[in-house]
Amino acid sequence: MKERLGGAVNQLPLFLGLVLLWAALWGRFSWLNLVTGAVFAAIVSVVFYLPAVQLSGRVNLWRSAWLFGKLLWDIGRASVNVAWLAVGPGYTPTNAIIAVHLRTRSDLILTWTAVATSIVPGSIVVDIERVDSTLFLHVINMHDTSETDRFRASVLATERRIVMAFGSHEDVERVSRVQNEEERLGITPGEPPEYTNGAPS
């Protein structure tokens, strides 16, 4: 019983999100809308039951604002870049499918990073390896390893911003620790471990 109660408390933010969405779609935050929203949210969460999401229970508003601001800026900048590739003269496509080894072990952060990377034009998630949190991204307009390394670093920076905004305490600690270790050992950030030990098999 206590476990179920804890589960319900953990799911409360998602439930409130559904109620808010209902009111937002109607465009009015009247009591009637909130009550009908709560009824529909309850029906939806019972009928379309999904396994509980592990929320981290930590939100940093400033970091979240920075995350979304940077994301909007990236979308704008990259949209213009990709649009120019499509319109401008003399484009010869060279692309790359890049594996990015993320630092987190949380499914939620992995999903957020995948969506945040994918929403920025120029990169598409082709596959995800959940076991070691690796994203396989198809990236447009890549020519050599210095560009792919820079792209990898930018995905890791996005992950870091997401973890700082609403990751768990363990993830925040883990991201900083792995980053320090990589800097100390001089490893290129985000490369899958098997490539850093020697030649790719």
Partner 1 sequence: MSALWSDVVTAVLVLLAALMCLAAGLGLLRFPDVLTRLHSATKPQILGLMAVTLDIAVTNFSVGTLTLVLAIVLFQALTAPMAAHLVARAAYVTDHLRPDLLVLDELRDARG
Residues 6+ apart with CB under 8 A from 33: 22, 23, 26
* Residue 32 lies near partner 1 (rule: CB under 8 A): no
Helix axes 31-47, 2-26, angle to 10 degrees: 130
Q: In the window 89-148, what residues touch partner 1 (CB under 8 A)? A: 91, 93-99, 114-115, 118-122, 124-127, 129, 134, 136, 138, 140, 142-145, 148
* Residue 64 lies near partner 1 (rule: CB under 8 A): no
Token pair recorded at residue 88:
């401008």
The CA angle 169-172-173, to the nearest 5 degrees, is 85
Closest to partner 1 by CB, 130 or 177: 130
Cβ 44 vs Cβ 18: under 8 Å: yes
* Angstrom distance (rounded) from CA 175 to CA 163: 8
Output the furthest CA–CA distance in the chain (Å, rounded).
Answer: 66
Closest to partner 1 by CB, 8 or 59: 59
Token pair recorded at residue 70:
């940077």
Task: Select the residue interacting with partner 1 from 8, 21, 52, 65 (CB under 8 A).
Answer: 21
We find the least distance from the C-beta atom of residue 158 to partner 1, in angstroms, to be 13
Closest to partner 1 by CB, 42 or 115: 115
Residue numbers of the site for partner 1 (CB under 8 A)? 21, 23-29, 75-76, 78-79, 82-87, 91, 93-99, 114-115, 118-122, 124-127, 129, 134, 136, 138, 140, 142-145, 148, 192, 195, 200-201
